[in-house]
């Protein structure tokens, strides 16, 4: 097996080690490149750069494979529940029945938030985007739950994991209810993770929310499909911010901020806005497809394309099936789903999309499921964040346990002006 790569520069030959992953993927280890050659690498957007070795999630972008701790996401979506998958990602193994019951109990114990946090919600402008509120409130959790010196670091970290996983639901639901001026619904100890969230979102004194097992299952699948995705932009943000050894709440808040962007987790909201615009314009796809292909037009077909997947996103396939299941169960029809299916059918036969390897990604159909459940449009990225949280936590944990871990501090190639002198203000042109 090839163990090194040769770099020839300035008449010298340098041997760089090759690192081989579990599935045979190879990387050039450039940890000592600058020390040995004086060179750095340049890779805008890090499309060719690995930031770490990881044992959590495996993706094969060419074959459309996604596995959490070796288990295919299709099997987890079918057989697991979100809390069990969260445990798997964070601890590396599926929990025993007893461990799962203990973990679920921990999440229930930490589902309330400090009552003083309500004042924060009430002072946000009513139109504030829920991701803005969520990023702020998650960061604020450190102020309400400071480190307890008597606890060991492991105890502190584990209680922080449980607090985050449990309270992110409560914060999301509170933000929604308060934005409507509705009474806050407290979490209940007798409901599971997803049913609790739905109840906190939709229960009402005049119309008690009816827990529908099929809808709870659909939400579990949604959250499982979003739970981790190796070194995506928001996970890279959590690792980078976490590398400064700041507390986990601050690192997760940075991940929420990165996820908010329409090119990343905000795409699920942007997809539905795009489908709605197509619907409102009479359903004609042609203008939108030609804009997507026009290099001079910044318009992108939202929900299409991916940095890693150059084939169908395996999560999109499952999510597309969930749309039909949920709409059938709720006896709903959604014209936006019909538009999405037509868009996919035409795009996948179009040479531009074929040549650019552009396929539906997880965000293309996910919003249809959320709409059917009754989640408001601007909370779609929040649902992505709730799903991605165990992934962020597991990646943060892995980075903090990595002996090779260092402060993230990329280099650059300077292309600015050469040295020049300061000019007093009266002598400036």
Interface with ligand SDX by CB under 6 A: which residues?
45, 229, 232-233, 263-265, 267, 292, 300-308, 356, 358, 361-363
Beta bridge partners of 13: 8
130 versus 303: smaller Cβ distance to ligand SDX:
303
Q: Which of 78, 414, 390 is nearest to 238 (CA)?
A: 390
Distance CA 407, CA 229 (A): 22
In the bound state with ligand SDX, the residue whose beta carbon lies nearer, of 198 and 274, is 274
Q: Supply the minimum distance, in Å, between the C-beta of residue 300 and ligand SDX.
A: 4
What is the DSSP secondary structure assignment for residue 374, as one 8-state letter? T
Residue 421 CB, shortest distance to ligand SDX, in Å, is 40
Q: How far is CA 260 from the centre of its chain?
A: 9
What strands, in cross-sheet order, belong to the sheet with 65-68? 57-60, 65-68, 71-72
- How many degrees, rounded to 5, is the angle at CA 379 between CA 375 and CA 380? 80
Q: Using the minimum distance from each CB to ligand SDX, give the nearer residue, 229 or 320.
A: 229
Query: Which residue lies nearest ligand SDX, judged by its C-beta?
Result: 305
> DSSP label at 26?
E
Please give the C-alpha separations between residue 169 and each of 109, 162, 382, in angstroms, as whole numbers: 13, 12, 9
Give the shortest CB-241-to-ligand SDX separation in angstroms: 16
Q: Which is nearer to ligand SDX, 91 or 233 (CB)?
A: 233
Contacts of 278 (CB under 8 A, 6+ apart): 284, 285, 288, 339, 343
Closest distance of CB 279 from ligand SDX, Å: 19
- The H or E element containing residue 361 is none
Of residues 166 and 361, the one with the C-beta less far from ligand SDX: 361
DSSP string covering 170-236: HHHHHHHHHHHTPPPPPP-TTS-HHHHHHHHHH--SSSPPPP-HHHHHHHHHHHHHTS--SS-HHHH
Residues labelled catalytic: 306, 363
Least separation in angstroms between CB 188 and ligand SDX: 30
Give the nearest distance from C-beta 268 to ligand SDX in angstroms: 8
Residue 184 or 289 with smaller CB distance to ligand SDX: 289
Give the integer Cα–Cα distance in Å for 51 and 242: 13
Residue 259 CB, shortest distance to ligand SDX, in Å, is: 8
Which residues fall within 8 angstroms of residue 72, CB to CB, at 6 or more apart?
65, 66
* Closest CA relative to residue 343, chosen from 261, 267, 296, 276: 276
Closest CA to 146 of 253, 249, 238: 249
Report the alpha-carbon distance of residue 51 to residue 422 in Å, rounded.
39
* Contact residues for 160 (Cβ-Cβ < 8 A; gap 6+): 145, 247, 248, 249
Looking at the Cβ atoms of 251 and 362, the one nearer to ligand SDX is 362
């Amino acid at each position: 097996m090839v163990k090194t790569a040769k770099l020839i520069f300035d008449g010298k030959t340098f041997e760089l080690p090759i690192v081989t992953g579990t599935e045979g993927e190879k990387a050039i280890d450039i940890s000592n490149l600058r020390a040995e050659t004086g060179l750095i690498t340049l890779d805008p957007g890090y499309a060719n750069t690995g930031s770490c070795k990881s044992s959590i999630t495996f993706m094969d972008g060419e074959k459309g494979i996604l596995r959490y701790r070796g288990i295919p996401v299709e099997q987890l979506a079918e057989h697991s529940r979100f809390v069990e998958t969260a445990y798997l990602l964070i601890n590396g193994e599926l929990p025993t029945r007893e461990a799962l019951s203990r973990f679920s109990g921990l999440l229930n114990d930490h589902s309330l938030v400090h009552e003083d946090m309500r004042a924060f919600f009430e002072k946000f402008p009513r139109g504030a985007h829920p991701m803005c509120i969520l990023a702020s409130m998650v960061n604020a959790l450190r102020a309400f739950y400071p480190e307890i010196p008597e606890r060991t670091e492991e105890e502190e970290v584990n209680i922080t994991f449980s607090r985050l996983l449990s309270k992110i639901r409560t914060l999301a639901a509170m933000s929604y209810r308060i934005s409507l001026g509705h009474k806050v619904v407290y979490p209940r100890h007798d409901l599971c993770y997803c049913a609790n969230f739905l109840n906190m979102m939709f229960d009402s004194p005049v119309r008690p929310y009816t827990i529908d097992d099929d809808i709870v299952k659909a939400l579990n699948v949604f959250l499982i499909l979003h739970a981790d995705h190796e070194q995506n932009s928001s996970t890279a943000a959590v690792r980078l911010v976490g590398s400064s050894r700041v507390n986990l709440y601050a690192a997760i808040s940075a991940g929420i901020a990165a996820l908010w962007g329409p090119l990343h987790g905000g795409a699920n909201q942007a997809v539905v806005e795009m489908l709605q615009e197509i619907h409102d314009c009479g359903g004609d796809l042609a203008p939108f497809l030609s804009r997507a292909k026009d290099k001079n037009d910044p318009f992108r077909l939202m929900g299409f394309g991916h940095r890693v997947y150059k084939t169908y996103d395996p999560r999109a396939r499952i999510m597309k099936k969930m749309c039909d299941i949920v709409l059938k169960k709720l006896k709903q029809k959604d014209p936006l789903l019909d538009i999405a299916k037509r868009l996919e059918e035409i795009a996948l036969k179009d040479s531009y999309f074929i040549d650019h390897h552009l396929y539906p990604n997880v965000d293309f159909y996910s919003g249809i499921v959320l709409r059917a459940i009754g989640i408001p449009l601007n909370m779609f990225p929040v649902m992505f964040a709730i799903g991605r949280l165990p992934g962020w936590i597991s990646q943060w944990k892995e980075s903090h346990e990595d002996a090779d871990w260092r402060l993230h501090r990329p280099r650059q190639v300077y292309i600015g002006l050469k040295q020049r002198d300061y000019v007093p203000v009266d002598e400036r042109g």
